[in-house]
Structure 1
Amino acid sequence: MSSPALHIGRWSQTGNVYAITTVTHARRGWFHDGANADLLVEALRTVERTGRTCSLAWVIMPDHLHWLIELRHGTLAGCMQILKSRSGRAIARRVDANAPIWQPGYYDHALRSDECLRAQAMYIAGNPVRAGLATYLGEYPHAWSRWPLQE
């Protein structure tokens, strides 16, 4: 169950940029499997195609997702519901699982106008290096940014 503290002060405003982190149920490493990561990428693209978001960067770690977006329409909760529902169903269907894929809730941080978007994107993309899953920025196959992945 997600912490009620995550909901305190949460609001969505179109045009704002948010850094979002969401975790798999019981921190299960669903995304060690590249095919599951590909299903999550397709769900990220689906949310963008709906016009709700403009993705700036994302990285799919083995048991969680970091996603930098500009909210274009609707709410963060609506975007996350579509993302988790679509990816969760696709992964469960692929692996024939009855268990939940995602933990309820998510963490979000609204970036202030003076925060550097590129620096935040590079921080997100650098997660696999800090976790020892890659040796340099841009090597990890499940990371993407609108800016070149270089240090």
Structure 2
Amino acid sequence: MDSSLFAHRSHALRSGRFSEPNRAYLLTTVTYGRVPIFTDWCAARLLVAEMRQAHDQQLVTSLAWVIMPDHLHWLVQLGSLPLPSLMQRIKSRSAIALRQAGVDHTEKVWQKGFHDHALRHDEDLQDVARYIVANPLRAGLVKRVGDYPLWDAAWL
């Protein structure tokens, strides 16, 4: 595929992005080169700490998340911070924490951009959360959801 075509599409997707405070969003971001950085427990916990800090500072209400070896799925209710700023903060702060801890395996931690899906009002948040936390099961990483340690949901 022509990389300039992909870059154009990527920019087009970002240009229509809208951040609505108090709206639920499913966010997905991927490690650079899909390197499985988060098979390292310490690395994953550093990312969790950054997500928790965003929640504690009321930038988001974290509803559910799962950290896969090479990507993150995060269901949030957005606060006043726009989506691009939130994701830039999480990615930047987690990359710094990984480098400081010496667990960063690559020059770059995250790929540019992220995917967001604004949930419609008729979408059930708990159904979306169940789908998110079942990712390790569907990926064949575990036989039961409870066997995977890197997820959480508000409904526990």
In 2, the alpha carbon distance for the partners of 1:81 and 1:47 equals 12
CA contact (8 A) 2:137 2:143 kept: yes
Taking the aligned partners of 2:146 and 2:20, their CA distance within structure 1 comes to 31
Question: Deviation at 1:59?
Answer: 0.2
| Contact 1:18 1:70 (8 Å CA) reproduced | yes
Unaligned runs of 5+ in 2: 1-5
Inter-partner Cα distance in structure 1 for 2:33 and 2:85: 23
- Structure 1 Cα separation of the partners of residues 79 and 15 of structure 2: 22
* Matched residue, 1:116: 124
Distance 2:56 2:88 in 1: 15
Residue number among 57, 60, 81 corresponding to 1:53 in the alignment: 60
TM-superposed CA distance for 1:8, in Å, is: 4.0
Instruction: Name the SS of the counterpart of 1:42 in structure 2.
Output: helix
Measure, in 2, the Cα distance between the counterparts of 1:36 and 1:69. 21
Q: Which runs of 5+ in 1 are unaligned?
A: none
Identify, as 1 or 2, the structure richer in helix.
2
TM-score normalised by L of structure 1: 0.92
Counting aligned pairs with the same residue, the percent is 45
Kindly indicate whether residue 128 of structure 2 is the aligned counterpart of residue 128 of structure 1: no
**TM-score, normalised via structure 2 length:** 0.89
Aligned to 1:90: 97
Q: Is the 8 A contact 1:6 1:106 kept in 2?
A: no
Report the CA distance shift for 1:14/1:95 in structure 2 as closer, same or farther (over 3 A).
Answer: same
Contact 1:59 1:67 in 2 (8 A): yes
